[in-house]
Structure 1
């Protein structure tokens, strides 16, 4: 960012993601996981592309070909986003209500764990001072 002083706001998103997805010593998990109940997803493995399509890719041109022609090589159109793929994947395995309650329980459990860790960290800080 030192060389690019005019567009520093572009790089701040990467810094923010790195801070939110790295392990926090106090809560013993990433802030992203504490907030949303699961670790942040990055890269092609978190996309809606099937594993066999990802494994066949050798270069960026292969990815561009999939994005412009579709996964089966016949349907034009973009690949669905990771969020829509996750919802579709979850709906195949469980009912939406069951999936939602499971996700909510996971978020609640992670937030309770983060709160407990923060309280323990605060107690250690008080003892040290």
Structure 2
């Protein structure tokens, strides 16, 4: 899936609030991060704990340009947890980690400023 990271891009088409509510964005804590060898862009395999309601999920994140694996473990990040699993190369991604691209296209993860319970839904 290609997402436009251009800050100057026009906004996406207008959607109904009910459509937004269908996207389940939760916070979780990264419990494991390893390099994903063979990816087209520098990426990590992440194991994220979303708490007892959702459990742990795997995700492939193109965040190696700004983060080291050891810096991600223990970090809370936001992800969409209700997309179907998606094959990314040889790995299966079970959620979509969320981030913003900088001027060079490097992804900064979307993360709460202060700790919140794992599994908390974006409000």
Question: So what's the TM-score if we normalise by structure 1?
Answer: 0.19
| Structure ID, larger Rg | 1
Instruction: Give the number of the structure whose residues are more often helix, by fraction.
Output: 1
Question: So what's the TM-score if we normalise by structure 2?
Answer: 0.20
